Amino acid sequence: MTNHLPITPAWTCGGCDADWPCHTRRREMRAEYDEASVSLALYLAAQLVDAAQDLAHVRAGLLHHRFLGWIR
């Protein structure tokens, strides 16, 4: 079990205090969703929607890059 979970409403990582998803959590999610990239994208898109409400002051493009821009 990871401790790199999001702390809301700031959307920082509970494990390392970086912006969530942090590099460690991204690596963990790549492994967890190894053969299910669409599922990973859907999960992160749902997280993005929640984060956008809490982080209304952050540009949408930056949030998109942060939550979805790193997956393929």
Which pLDDT band holds residue 2 (cuts at 50, 70, 90)? Answer: confident
DSSP 20: S
Residue 46 pLDDT: 98
**pLDDT (tens digit, 9 = 90+) per residue, 13-70?**
999 999 999 999 999 999 999 999 999 999 999 999 999 999 999 999 999 999 999 9
Considering only CA atoms, which of 6, 8, 28 is closest in space to residue 16? 6
- Residue 25, CB-side half-sphere exposure with 13 Å CA sphere: 22
Residue 51 pLDDT: 98
pTM for this model (two decimals):
0.91
Residue 63 pLDDT: 97
